[in-house]
Structure 1
Amino acid sequence: MHKTLIVTNDFPPRPGGIQAFVHNMAVRQPAGSVVVYASTWKDGREVAEFDAAQPFRVIRDRTRMMVPTPRVTRRAAEILRAEGCTSVWFGAAAPLGLMAPALRRAGAERLLGMTHGHEAAWAQLPVSAQLLRRIGAGTDVLTYLGEYTRSRIARAVGPDAARRMTQLPPGVDESTFRPDSGGDAVRARLGLSERPVVVCVSRLVPRKGQDTLIRALPRVLAAQPDAVLLIVGGGPYRAELEKLVDTVGVRSSVVFTGAVPWAELPAHYGAGDVFAMPCRTRRGGLDVEGLGIVYLEASATGLPVVAGDSGGAPDAVREGETGYVVPGTGGEQLLAERLVRLLGDEGLRREMGEAGRKWVHAAWRWDMLAERLTGLLRER
């Protein structure tokens, strides 16, 4: 049987988007076809129980942050040979893809590197761009999330590696994210049953644009006085957002849930009438949205979406069909106009929500994307 070694620093139960991406792809590969070599993240029962529940072997390195040191590279080569793997899949191409030449010498016939948003940032800095070029030369294929990340990474890796790039974004489980996900119960519990709800599901960090939503809220309330902004998630920016709510004077119209268990996220999407996350690019393009899977999860739930224009976020929206894209910086007025229009037009919300769910089914299903990855790992 063809067998793949997954080398990744990003793997559950460590939380995060790349972790979920790699894991969802891994569990959908043919039985017995993968083995995972991952960082430890932290000691304890949580990691051990998670690993034991997986349908494949998980080998943990002692380090909590896996980088391509000589020791890690040697260990990866040992596992490759011991497990009889003929291909290698780097959960994040940068920096682990730097191990590619050594693993090819150890017997790997096919090497694939997944790229995410951070590689697009690497491409803008001279030293890290040179490392990306080495990674592109050492691997057989690099994947990309969407056109934004492809264009940035392609310039760094050079024409030969760019020709071997192929799109492989994360997917959406439409059986989990669906219109009847339990949103009514969440609304009732939070006392929002009779109110128009704009929901934002994301980590609370400046790039995601929750502050822009708060600043736009007075304009929304002028047209929809009962509207409420439901901010779902935790993160280091919460204290600043709480202060901003009081400064703007919209305390009665904003609800913070804090961090929510993953199993409860679909219901929290479903608690909204509209999904909005006006993300923005920061730090001269180094802090940028790679794709924005939350928009697609909201679409699968049947919501129209309003996205910011940071990086690859527009790749997750069909403008005017599944939602709208607004400027992530200085876009409060247009954001408010889009929200007012959607909150005031139930037919438009339903039309966009249905279009979004159809698009997810046609182009963003996990099973379809995992099958694409299986093919990429077996090409010669």
Structure 2
Amino acid sequence: MHKTLIVTNDFPPRPGGIQTFVHSMALRMRPEDVVVYASTWRDGSEVRKFDAQQPFQVVRDRTKIMVPTPRVTRRAAEILRAEDCGSVWFGAAAPLGLMAPQLRRAGAERIVGMTHGHEAAWAQLPASRQLLRRIGAGTDTLTYLGEYTRSRIASAVGPAVAARMVQVTPGVDEQLFHPDSGGAEVRAKLGLTDRPVVVCVSRLVPRKGQDTLIRSWPRVLRAFPDAVLLVVGGGPYRADLEKLAAQTGVAASVVFTGAVPWEELPAHYGAGDVYAMPCRTRRGGLDVEGLGIVYLEASATGLPVVAGDSGGAPDAVLEGETGYVVPGRDTAALAERLTTLLGDPALRARMGAAGRAWVDSTWRWDLLADRLAGLL
């Protein structure tokens, strides 16, 4: 395998799904085969501490958001030549994939661009659609998360590039996310022992649909008066959600944990009886869920899931087997699925077991990392 230069804006300690995706893939490559060129994020000491803990080399650009300017492109080419990298992997194809032709001239033999939900949004606007076509032409392979993202990106890049697209998705660490992940301890700490719990682990932003969960909660409480909605994660939407919970009259049964450390996430999933994130598409399709790895992490933890219908989120659910998909704005449909699951322990157990088995057979990191290695 060639030594690979990973060029990415999305890399820890900056939080997010793409960041976790890129980092987890990089950790499954031989350290001597990887060099990461990434943007900087927030406090320099936090970034330096994180980088020092990595088994591979990380080179940080001085900017918080890298764009394919001549300076950034020259720096990427310098790293590629100095480290004798034969392949390039763009953690997110847009916009950094616009550097592909220059990096090929600098010596890259293979160039792979990962696409996510935002590239599918780019495909809907004329100007960004043309840029996406250029990115596709400059790479050997564009990856996609699922049929939703593939179909939209393929329409922009044209038949020749679309024929070279390959599915590579985020994975789940099945040894980290499992049914005995420490949920009972979290329940005890939060005072939720012996109460029905619906958990949502996600960033607090409008697309994720925590507001729909809160609006549906009075219906759930009519069936299960002692039920609790456990909202795990931080984000700019928290104040609005807390205000909504108070206005809806359910504040006493909604618990906000704020952001929790990555290593504590499995236990917080495990604190729930049901996982729910009713994500929805916004801004005319420009704000859309690419896949929804949280549903698979919940499945690995043994929970049934209730997903919204935004973008590729349904790709992470086997309808009626590992959970359900509902319209992201339909509070009645959401409440019906939640009360059905809360009231049927056998159904929860069956769906949780099916989800765990599906993750083990299809979504493990080692399987997906092997696919990426083949492309590189």
Task: Give the structure-1-normalised TM-score.
Answer: 0.97
- In structure 1, C-alpha distance between the alignment counterparts of 2:84 and 2:76, rounded to whole Å: 12
Q: Offset at 1:30?
A: 2.3
Q: CA RMSD in A?
A: 0.9
Q: Offset at 1:43?
A: 4.6
1:170 — aligned with what?
A: 170
1:205 — aligned with what?
A: 205
The amino acid of 2:355's aligned partner reads: G
Answer yes or no: is 1:48 the counterpart of 2:48. yes
Identity of aligned residues (%): 80
Q: Which moved more, 1:94-103 or 1:241-250?
A: 241-250
- In structure 2, C-alpha distance between the alignment counterparts of 1:19 and 1:235, rounded to whole Å: 16
The amino acid of 2:272's aligned partner reads: G
2:131 — aligned with what?
A: 131
1:153 — aligned with what?
A: 153
- In structure 1, C-alpha distance between the alignment counterparts of 2:74 and 2:251, rounded to whole Å: 56
1:302 — aligned with what?
A: 302
SS of the counterpart of 2:351? helix
Q: Offset at 1:193?
A: 0.4
Q: Which moved more, 1:294-303 or 1:211-220?
A: 211-220
1:376 — aligned with what?
A: 375
- Cα deviation, 1:54-111, whole Å, max 9, x if unaligned, reads 1111111122211100111111111111111111101110001000111111111100
- In structure 2, C-alpha distance between the alignment counterparts of 1:5 and 1:214, rounded to whole Å: 44
SS of the counterpart of 2:306? strand
- In structure 2, C-alpha distance between the alignment counterparts of 1:215 and 1:193, rounded to whole Å: 24
Q: Offset at 1:332?
A: 0.7
Q: Offset at 1:45?
A: 2.0
Superposition pairs of residues 72-83 of structure 1, within 5 angstroms: 72-83=72-83
2:229 — aligned with what?
A: 229
- Cα deviation, 1:11-40, whole Å, max 9, x if unaligned, reads 111111111110100010123111111112
Superposition pairs of residues 20-59 of structure 1, within 5 angstroms: 20-59=20-59
- In structure 1, C-alpha distance between the alignment counterparts of 2:60 and 2:99, rounded to whole Å: 17
Q: Offset at 1:246?
A: 1.4
SS of the counterpart of 1:94? coil
Superposition pairs of residues 103-114 of structure 1, within 5 angstroms: 103-114=103-114
Name structure 2 gaps, 5 residues minimum: none
Answer whether contact 1:29 1:371 (CA < 8 A) is retained: no
1:354 — aligned with what?
A: 353
Answer whether contact 1:204 1:234 (CA < 8 A) is retained: yes
- In structure 2, C-alpha distance between the alignment counterparts of 1:188 and 1:160, rounded to whole Å: 56
Q: Offset at 1:132?
A: 0.2
- In structure 2, C-alpha distance between the alignment counterparts of 1:81 and 1:134, rounded to whole Å: 24
SS of the counterpart of 1:5? strand
Name structure 1 gaps, 5 residues minimum: none
1:241 — aligned with what?
A: 241
1:363 — aligned with what?
A: 362
SS of the counterpart of 1:276? strand
Q: Offset at 1:277?
A: 0.4
- In structure 2, C-alpha distance between the alignment counterparts of 1:7 and 1:240, rounded to whole Å: 35
SS of the counterpart of 1:192? coil
2:14 — aligned with what?
A: 14
Answer whether contact 1:231 1:257 (CA < 8 A) is retained: yes
Answer whether contact 1:197 1:273 (CA < 8 A) is retained: yes
